[in-house]
Chain A
Amino acid sequence: MFITKKKLSRRAVLRGLGAVVALPVLDAMTPAMALGASALKTPSRLICIEMVHGAAGSAALGAAENLWAPAAVGRDFDLSPSSLNALSQFREHLTIVSNTDVACAEPYTAREIGGDHFRSSAVFLTQAHPKLTDGADVEAATSLDQIYAARAGRQSPIPSMQLCIEDVDQGGACGFPYACSYTDSISWASPTQPLPMIRNPRVVFDELFGVLGTTGTRESQVARQADDRSILDWLGTAIGRLTGDLGAADRRRLSDYLDNIREIERRLQAVEAFNASGEARTLPAAPVGVPDSFTEHVRLMFDLQLVALRSDVTRVFALKMGRDNSNRVYPESGFGGAFHPTSHHSGKIEKIRDFARMNAFHVGQLAYLLERMRDTPDGVNGGSLLDNSVVIYGSPMGDSNLHNHKRVPFVIAGHAGGRIQGGRHIKAPAGTPLASAMLGVLHALGADDIAQFGDSEGVLNLNG
């Protein structure tokens, strides 16, 4: 059994009995799954995690104390001064890439100065400079997770999922003439399509395992799925009837709706084929809502990702763990300061150290995920889920006090089925774009035909 109820049963978060859904594990898959050639080998899974506000170790004084990047490069690095020390038990699985820049997050024009908080998140996974607009004409680039999802994701029922921890609700839009979607989302399906991020674990659960409902007997579920399909079929024709007296742009909007309906039909079919191929298993009980505790919320999201990756419902996740300008306090960290003010440490070493403690608390959340990925057997190669996955964690900002985007924090965990060796600290030459390291990740994921990602200058060798 790959999941126990205990794992997901958190205080005040979960309730009720698990719904019974047929959910095969990868090694139980039948050839009827028709996954194509890549089904023969274990696919790599990808989790992209963004934390905002850079890191203490990106400030000059913080770097001197190795609060993020260790002093030594190669395999013999000492993590003890670093916020990454919370992950020391996984050092063999880590590839720390330091000294890279996110130049596309810098202001390009005078009007963009001061907009770093509202622009950065859009840059993290796209490595493109967002167009300055507060309208619907947003533009960045297809994000790393979506590039991979377009290749690997379509072989699973749900190509990718986007999750977040912080609420997007904020007065006065987003405070600068940047559209809120630049601040709200890190995933871009195309240069003009930011994807919504889901905050409520219950909604994540329903989307992953219910698609259109999770309760009831197997028979009633089959009947409901047939109903759902008939409704989707009908929507196609119903939309067609409506377009007559609408303008061209409205017709386009309806046709987007139709495309999405078709995509959901495809997912539904895939889920059904998928469910038919496996033995019945008990799913974790559905979570009730959003926990107040940051740690509980993050862990719940990790639990859901683990179940989804393990059962190959999806292969790609993006998780936005923070929100720019957030004044959230993290009582569990043992440090009382609020996030945004603490990140403005004035370049004073004591304050920088305080911020490093907050960074350590954030990075430390990954330990929960990595431990479970390491302990989960996966695929046909006798490895673990961590062996067959790539988890990236980083920030599009560097020194949060200066709002710069230099020497940004970035770490990779996992081995991409052996293509990333891990256990090393790579210090990139000064001025190396983070995009070069991300291109290295894409190549490790098998997308090695891609020559350029964002402002990359060649591919950074992750095993160097």
Chain B
Amino acid sequence: MTFRVAARLAGALLVIVVASRVAGVGAQQPSATAPAIPPPTAMSDAAQNALVEEYCSTCHSRETKSGSLVLTGFNVASPLLSSELLEKVIRKVRSGQMPPANAERPALEERRAFVEALEARADAKAATLNDPAWRPFQRLNRAEYRRVIKDLVAVDIDPSAILPPDTASGGFDNIADVQSVSPTLITAYLRGAATVSRTAVGTSSVATPSRKKVFICSPRDVADQTACATTIVRALTDRAYRGSATPADVADAMSFYARGRERGTFDDGIQLALQSILVSPKFLFRLEPTAGTTDLSDLALASRLSFFLWSRAPDDLLIAAARRGALHTREQLAGQVRRMIADPRAEALSTRFAAQWLRLQDLDKNVVDTQLFPSFTPALAKAMRRETELVVADLIQRDGSVMELITSSRSFINEPLARHYGIPNVRGDQFRAVTMPASRRGLLGQASILTLTSLGTRTSPVLRGKWVLDVLLGTPPPPPPPNVPALDDSVKPDKSGVALSTRQRVEEHRRNPSCSGCHRVIDPPGMALEQFDATGAWRATDNGVAIDATADLYDGLRMDGAAGLRSALLAHQDLVLRNFTQQLMTYALGRRLNDRDMPAVRAIVRSAAPQGNRFSAFVTGVVTSDTFRRARPPKD
């Protein structure tokens, strides 16, 4: 098949071109002047257009307009073709959702050649645009505020008792453009500064970790007080302002020291200086001045890196690297990434990034009926969440392949969880590494995921299926229409009065033609997980009916049980990795991605493959991308 060979060649060519672009990171030349990638010649424009005409335009016609999309007269070479439409077609064909499995469609190889040609076109277009999307500056959210305060003055706070909740967007709590400022927020920061500074300074007679951290000198006598205060205040501003403190900043804080000292003690002076530092915009906001070009300043880049990987301010090593200009080349950045993700502070990637990506917070939303599931306790729910966090943390520490999230038998459990899983010889509340049975490999064998996608009283193949499509494959189904009958009522027990399994009731629901269009896509991954009950415990029957965990994925792939679903996900590894990259990039950048980001996402996925899809390959791909390293133009 000539298509196939040519497509492979084109793909290889792309990898080389992309690799050379990445290697050029930090070079003087902005990539606006880099040569555009020539569109590959694998599948001719005419062939692409003909394919759309033959297989797509019957449903996506001006008359039928399936999915509100018209592809009649589609011309791939048209300058009017929007990246939105291009990416939409790529998404649908790449995932195998289109053309539908039950319709006439080109062979898999031909579809792949087609979609790769479209991707190459989109990527080439993006390279000429040189348009890192802009976002406003970020502010410290609850999770970051807690960590930064802890690092700065060793005070433990409950941020939910101080700050208003963070508005989520794109699935994450750190998205810049929805971090709006209100009197409620500012009052909260002011109150937080007052409380934290008083707690940190405490009383001079009691030595606390906070005092040790703050009072790095003690005045020998009254005459020495100002000098010592200057030392303290300089250190505080330097760390609080993430390396950007100026002499004016120190002078400002010192004026508050003087004010506090005047009406009280040395400690009062330090407390007031600290209070002023903690409300400074340089502390609360992650302002990102440019280096006079479109690149971020080195210090701003250091902050982006550390808030991405640690949810904290940069440490001394990172600031030093920024100051000596050692955050420019790909090797320098990759070195920092390796160092930082091996550090315990990278816990934030599992407890914040992965937890939000995987929606672990929804565990709290499922009020499990403890009459039906008497072994379910809040402690067990906590252990479920912890297991998933530890598995991700372990993967990051070992720098394993991201696909291990789907396949790995390595996990971490404690006694309550072991009992829930029926695994013997695990004692106590401590978590330890175990090898899980084949049925429980990967995320889809973990009770956290299986419970947060269930209802309080029963499993929900719909919610589980939606989770797989949305969270793992990045192909979210549309929202349900109104007037959807609740499952319990949609069907009576059969004529003999025998109760039905959840699967049978879901299937009944799907018999309704107005439901089947979507549910034929949504339900199957959930059906394959029916061997796990609503709390993720293994089961052989549901409502007395033997479990049937076979189902066909939307593209026709046959699945049997969790293992079958895992195989299906491996067959769609490209979707899993692409979606993972999108999630990681959204979190790293603090902005929702758009269609124009997809070329960068694809480049990161491609560059990770020869590195065994190691976690660090994706992180390095993100931090060396133009959009991570660039800011808006200096003046607008």
CB-based contact A203/B165 at 8 Å: no
B483 CB contacts on chain A under 8 angstroms:
401-403
Given contacts A135-B177, A136-B178, are A224 and B194 in contact (CB under 8 A)? Answer: yes
Task: Please provide the chain A residues from 171 to 198 with a CB less than 8 Å away from any CB of chain B in the complex.
Answer: 171-176, 179-181, 184, 189, 193-198
Task: Please provide the chain A residues from 318 to 352 with a CB less than 8 Å away from any CB of chain B in the complex.
Answer: 326-329, 338, 341, 344-346, 348, 351
Task: Please provide the chain B residues from 145 to 171 with a CB less than 8 Å away from any CB of chain A in the complex.
Answer: 158, 160-162, 164-165, 167-171
Is A75 on the interface with B (CB-CB < 8 A)? Answer: no
Is A110 on the interface with B (CB-CB < 8 A)? Answer: yes
Is B184 on the interface with A (CB-CB < 8 A)? Answer: yes
State A213–B290 Cα separation when bound (angstroms).
38
> Can you list 7 A-B contacts with CB-CB less than 8 angstroms, sorted by A residue number?
A168-B168, A230-B259, A231-B279, A248-B636, A250-B136, A289-B158, A403-B482
Task: Please provide the chain A residues from 426 to 447 with a CB less than 8 Å away from any CB of chain B in the complex.
Answer: none
Q: How near does chain A come to B102, taking the closest CB pair, in angstroms?
A: 24
Which 6 A/B pairs are nearest by Cβ-Cβ distance? A171-B359, A403-B482, A136-B177, A114-B479, A196-B164, A171-B362
Given contacts A203-B161, A227-B260, A238-B281, are A344 and B486 in contact (CB under 8 A)? Answer: yes
Question: A342-367 toward B: CB 8 Å interface, digit per residue (1/0)?
Answer: 00111010010000000000000000
Task: Please provide the chain A residues from 256 to 278 with a CB less than 8 Å away from any CB of chain B in the complex.
Answer: 256-257, 260-261, 263-264, 267
Of the candidates B168, B191, B364, B452, the one whose C-beta lies within 8 Å of that of A212 is: B191
Q: How near does chain B come to A458, taking the closest CB pair, in angstroms?
A: 30
B484 CB contacts on chain A under 8 angstroms:
344
Given contacts A254-B281, A327-B456, are A184 and B478 in contact (CB under 8 A)? Answer: no
State A174–B136 Cα separation when bound (angstroms).
22
Of the candidates B365, B482, B486, the one whose C-beta lies within 8 Å of that of A170 is: B365
Of the candidates A195, A242, A253, A260, the one whose C-beta lies within 8 Å of that of B136 is: A253
State A174–B194 Cα separation when bound (angstroms).
34
Q: How near does chain A come to B389, taking the closest CB pair, in angstroms?
A: 14
Given contacts A264-B183, A328-B367, are A173 and B482 in contact (CB under 8 A)? Answer: no
A348 CB contacts on chain B under 8 angstroms:
489
B171 CB contacts on chain A under 8 angstroms:
171-173
CB-based contact A181/B137 at 8 Å: no
Of the candidates A197, A246, A402, the one whose C-beta lies within 8 Å of that of B287 is: A246
CB-based contact A134/B479 at 8 Å: no
Which of the candidate stretches B13-21, B565-573, B627-635 sits at the interface with the other chain? B627-635
Is B485 on the interface with A (CB-CB < 8 A)? Answer: yes
Report the count of interface residues on B (CB-CB < 8 A): 79
Q: Please, which residue of chain A has its CB at the minimum distance from the CB of B362?
A: A171
CB-based contact B195/A114 at 8 Å: no
Is A239 on the interface with B (CB-CB < 8 A)? Answer: yes
Question: B479-515 toward A: CB 8 Å interface, digit per residue (1/0)?
Answer: 1111111100100000000000000000000000000
B365 CB contacts on chain A under 8 angstroms:
170-171, 326-327
Q: Please, which residue of chain A has its CB at the minimum distance from the CB of B246?
A: A241
Is A45 on the interface with B (CB-CB < 8 A)? Answer: no
Task: Please provide the chain B residues from 274 to 302 with a CB less than 8 Å away from any CB of chain A in the complex.
Answer: 275-276, 279-282, 285, 287, 289-290
Is B124 on the interface with A (CB-CB < 8 A)? Answer: no
A27 CB contacts on chain B under 8 angstroms:
none
CB-based contact B68/A110 at 8 Å: yes
Chain A interface helix/strand/loop/mixed: mixed
CB-based contact A199/B367 at 8 Å: no
B261 CB contacts on chain A under 8 angstroms:
none
Given contacts A116-B482, A170-B361, A171-B360, are A257 and B186 in contact (CB under 8 A)? Answer: yes
CB-based contact A238/B184 at 8 Å: no
State A110–B481 Cα separation when bound (angstroms).
11
Given contacts A234-B252, A327-B456, A346-B489, are A402 and B161 in contact (CB under 8 A)? Answer: no
CB-based contact B281/A170 at 8 Å: no
A194 CB contacts on chain B under 8 angstroms:
180
Is B245 on the interface with A (CB-CB < 8 A)? Answer: no
Question: A147-189 toward B: CB 8 Å interface, digit per residue (1/0)?
Answer: 0000000000000001000011111111110011100100001
Is A210 on the interface with B (CB-CB < 8 A)? Answer: yes
Is B351 on the interface with A (CB-CB < 8 A)? Answer: no
CB-based contact B479/A167 at 8 Å: no
Of the candidates A110, A200, A264, the one whose C-beta lies within 8 Å of that of B186 is: A264
State A203–B276 Cα separation when bound (angstroms).
21
Is A81 on the interface with B (CB-CB < 8 A)? Answer: no
Is B181 on the interface with A (CB-CB < 8 A)? Answer: yes
CB-based contact A338/B456 at 8 Å: yes
CB-based contact A242/B282 at 8 Å: yes
Q: How near does chain B come to A305, taking the closest CB pair, in angstroms?
A: 16
Q: How near does chain A come to B9, taking the closest CB pair, in angstroms?
A: 39
CB-based contact A249/B282 at 8 Å: no
CB-based contact A175/B479 at 8 Å: yes
Is B107 on the interface with A (CB-CB < 8 A)? Answer: no
Q: How near does chain B come to A11, taking the closest CB pair, in angstroms?
A: 19
Q: Please, which residue of chain B has its CB at the minimum distance from the CB of A237?
A: B252
State A195–B191 Cα separation when bound (angstroms).
19
A289 CB contacts on chain B under 8 angstroms:
158, 161
A238 CB contacts on chain B under 8 angstroms:
252, 280-282
Question: B577-596 toward A: CB 8 Å interface, digit per residue (1/0)?
Answer: 00000000000000010000
**Which of A169, A211, A346 is the most central at the interface, judged by chain B CB atoms within 10 Å of its CB?**
A169
Q: A116-B482, A228-B190 are in contact. List 18 more A-B contacts (CB 8 A).
A: A135-B177, A162-B184, A167-B364, A171-B171, A171-B362, A174-B168, A196-B164, A196-B167, A196-B185, A213-B191, A227-B272, A245-B290, A245-B634, A248-B635, A254-B281, A260-B186, A327-B456, A344-B484
B252 CB contacts on chain A under 8 angstroms:
234, 238
B287 CB contacts on chain A under 8 angstroms:
242, 246, 250
Given contacts A212-B190, A264-B190, are A114 and B481 in contact (CB under 8 A)? Answer: yes
Is A315 on the interface with B (CB-CB < 8 A)? Answer: no
Of the candidates A174, A195, A234, A401, the one whose C-beta lies within 8 Å of that of B276 is: A234
Q: Please, which residue of chain B has its CB at the minimum distance from the CB of A171?
A: B359
CB-based contact A223/B263 at 8 Å: yes
State A224–B181 Cα separation when bound (angstroms).
24
CB-based contact B289/A246 at 8 Å: yes
A227 CB contacts on chain B under 8 angstroms:
256, 259-260, 272, 275
State A374–B169 Cα separation when bound (angstroms).
42
Is A383 on the interface with B (CB-CB < 8 A)? Answer: no
Task: Please provide the chain B residues from 356 to 395 with a CB less than 8 Å away from any CB of chain A in the complex.
Answer: 356, 358-362, 364-367
CB-based contact A114/B478 at 8 Å: yes
CB-based contact B170/A198 at 8 Å: no
Given contacts A207-B184, A213-B191, A328-B367, are A134 and B165 in contact (CB under 8 A)? Answer: no
Is A377 on the interface with B (CB-CB < 8 A)? Answer: no
CB-based contact A202/B481 at 8 Å: no
State A34–B188 Cα separation when bound (angstroms).
28
CB-based contact B137/A250 at 8 Å: yes
Question: A11-35 toward B: CB 8 Å interface, digit per residue (1/0)?
Answer: 0000000000000000000000000
CB-based contact B168/A200 at 8 Å: no
A231 CB contacts on chain B under 8 angstroms:
190, 256, 275-276, 279
State A408–B169 Cα separation when bound (angstroms).
29
A404 CB contacts on chain B under 8 angstroms:
482
CB-based contact B485/A213 at 8 Å: no
Is A113 on the interface with B (CB-CB < 8 A)? Answer: yes
CB-based contact B182/A172 at 8 Å: no
CB-based contact B361/A180 at 8 Å: no
CB-based contact A260/B181 at 8 Å: yes
Task: Please provide the chain A residues from 54 to 111 with a CB less than 8 Å away from any CB of chain B in the complex.
Answer: 110-111
Of the candidates B177, B183, B191, the one whose C-beta lies within 8 Å of that of A206 is: B191
Given contacts A176-B479, A253-B136, A348-B489, are A264 and B360 in contact (CB under 8 A)? Answer: no
Of the candidates A172, A196, A329, the one whose C-beta lies within 8 Å of that of B184 is: A196
CB-based contact A168/B186 at 8 Å: no
Question: B198-234 toward A: CB 8 Å interface, digit per residue (1/0)?
Answer: 0000000000000000000000000000000000000
State A225–B22 Cα separation when bound (angstroms).
54
CB-based contact B281/A257 at 8 Å: yes
CB-based contact A247/B632 at 8 Å: yes
A263 CB contacts on chain B under 8 angstroms:
183
Task: Please provide the chain B residues from 543 to 571 with a CB less than 8 Å away from any CB of chain A in the complex.
Answer: none
